[in-house]
Structure 1
Amino acid sequence: MGGALTLTLAALAYPSMLGLTTVSSSPSRVIAQTQWGPLTEADRDFVVKVRAAGLWEYPVGQMALKKGTSKGVLVAGQHLISGHAALDATCRTIAPQLDIVIPNQPSAQQQGFINTLNADSGNKFDTDFANILRITHGQIFTTVAKIRSTTNNTLVRALADQANTTVLDHITVMEKTGLVNFDQVLFQQTTPPKLPAEDMTPPPPVPGQPQVVLTPPAGDTGAGGGQVTPSPSPTIG
């Protein structure tokens, strides 16, 4: 697996999570005073990152249920769908409360991950799926911890709590597939490329466009670490 996987992951330009490169010019700057505490640029960017993560990982989870060839990949796909549906519900609830505009589409780089996995099949799909998702979740894990330890906004803190549980769950199920190449993953996780900001940033929503909603599957039991039950939100379709 080693040599072929190295080439595969290298071709993906060291996948990295939206916002790991500092998006804000001054992350600690307070941009709003809210009833839930001050909101900083870093807080706002975190809510956007969590929403954007779901916009590509949720469909990839659906893809895993259709294309996965091992039980571990099928289980991981279920956890992606469930975990990001729960995180998405929280993001859609708190974003208007904090006056944060959230995207309706993933970034160009994240869409590239979808396209890559969509073109894969068989064992190649399973292997790329496990390693790409392990890299991206490993990267965002430290970001979640930083926000959790520094935010003074209770809504953002609750989202960080939920994200921490979900991301750790997703890291764990990827590792349980038995397909993760740890040497390569850890190297790429800690040495992401310097990509153009436009590749790392999701486009703003089109005015008047219905909001994309990541709905949990029927009978969902909460796999993936969903912890927050937000107020009801409208769904599409």
Structure 2
Amino acid sequence: MPLSRSTLGSLAVGGALATTLAALAYPSMLGIQTTASNQARIIANTQWGPLTEADRNFVVFVRSAGLWESPSGSLAMQKGTTAAVREAGRHLVVGHAALDASCRQIAPELNITLPDQPTPQQQGFLANFRADKGKQFDSDFANTLRMTHGSIFNVIAKIRSTTENTLVRALADQANDVVLDHITQMEKTGLVNFDQVNFQETTPPKLPGAQVTPPVPQPGAPLVTLTVPPGLSTDGVPTGPATTPSPSAPSPTASPTTG
């Protein structure tokens, strides 16, 4: 079944995820409010290695992805009309709970502010899923999530190959396993339209920055935590331990560079 018109109209992601990360201006606890065009610019020197703008944006984006993909997974477990769709939903919930734990663990160490809401674009995806019924939900769910995961997979590879920060590197390792698993689960539904997905990944429409940047949380607001619901099996879902690697440098605290 083809994607619904509303979903097709919002699929401005794909290769745009790399652009999103390059354009993301997200503040850190260090008071950095703007971002330069050079993603390799070091914004902090930490005991785990230098932290670049690309590193920071990656942590923010992994967190933001979980904030819409975890509830999408919950919807799939409730609304999916096939066992494969419901199983894909379970993998989303379990995998993003693990990634979220890692993001929440390393963000304070690196002085990164995490979002508590997904981007407006991601909220639009979630709204489409909530409105969908029956087989249309199955199709939209599988194709949208296959496209977004296929796109971020390339971003993960770039971060993993370039970062000098051991905490970000460990998150990229974990994200690689989880995202590959989610790609596989979407394909196992038998609903992925590969021609359509590949087109959306390689020729995405351009969106305003405000649509692809998560809202900045209000000061003092409690941090949303993604967890695995009681009784939900984690069997067969790659998660990776949310553990802090040993420091790669002796410096005890992060020190900001010029913002």
Partner of 1:221: 234
Measure, in 1, the Cα distance between the counterparts of 2:108 and 2:158. 23
Measure, in 1, the Cα distance between the counterparts of 2:166 and 2:45. 12
Partner of 1:179: 191
Q: Given the alignment, which residue of 126, 134, 137 partners 1:125?
A: 137
Partner of 1:74: 86
Change (3 A) 1:154 1:222: farther
SS in 2 for 1:5: coil
Partner of 2:18: 20
After superposition, the C-alpha distances for 1:12-42 in whole angstroms (9 at most, x for unaligned) are 2434488421225211011111000000000
Letter of the 2:104 counterpart: R
**How many Å apart are 1:9 and its aligned residue?**
4.6
Question: TM-score scaled to structure 2, two decimals?
Answer: 0.84
Partner of 1:11: 9
SS in 2 for 1:20: helix
Q: Would the aligned equivalents of 2:46 and 2:110 in 1 still touch at CA under 8 Å?
A: yes
Letter of the 1:82 counterpart: V
Larger radius of gyration: 2
Q: Would the aligned equivalents of 1:61 and 1:81 in 2 still touch at CA under 8 Å?
A: yes
Change (3 A) 1:51 1:14: same
Letter of the 1:196 counterpart: P
Instruction: Output aligned runs, 1:138-177, within 5 Å.
Output: 138-177=150-189
Letter of the 2:195 counterpart: D
More relative contact order, 1 or 2 (CA 8 Å, 6+ apart): 2
After superposition, the C-alpha distances for 1:194-220 in whole angstroms (9 at most, x for unaligned) are 100000000011111110000113354
After superposition, the C-alpha distances for 1:148-206 in whole angstroms (9 at most, x for unaligned) are 00000000000000000000000000000000000101110111111000000000111
Measure, in 2, the Cα distance between the counterparts of 1:203 and 1:18. 18
SS in 1 for 2:3: helix
Aligned length: 229
Measure, in 2, the Cα distance between the counterparts of 1:60 and 1:34. 35
Letter of the 2:198 counterpart: L
Identity score, percent: 59
Q: CA RMSD in A?
A: 1.7
Q: Given the alignment, which residue of 178, 189, 206 partners 2:201?
A: 189
Letter of the 2:107 counterpart: A
The answer to whether 1:62 aligns with 2:74 is yes
Partner of 2:59: 47
Q: Would the aligned equivalents of 1:18 and 1:49 in 2 still touch at CA under 8 Å?
A: no
Measure, in 2, the Cα distance between the counterparts of 1:90 and 1:17. 25
SS in 2 for 1:39: strand
Q: Would the aligned equivalents of 2:15 and 2:202 in 1 still touch at CA under 8 Å?
A: no
- Off by >4 Å, runs of 4+ in structure 1: 6-9, 16-19
**How many Å apart are 1:223 and its aligned residue?**
4.4
Q: Would the aligned equivalents of 2:11 and 2:200 in 1 still touch at CA under 8 Å?
A: no
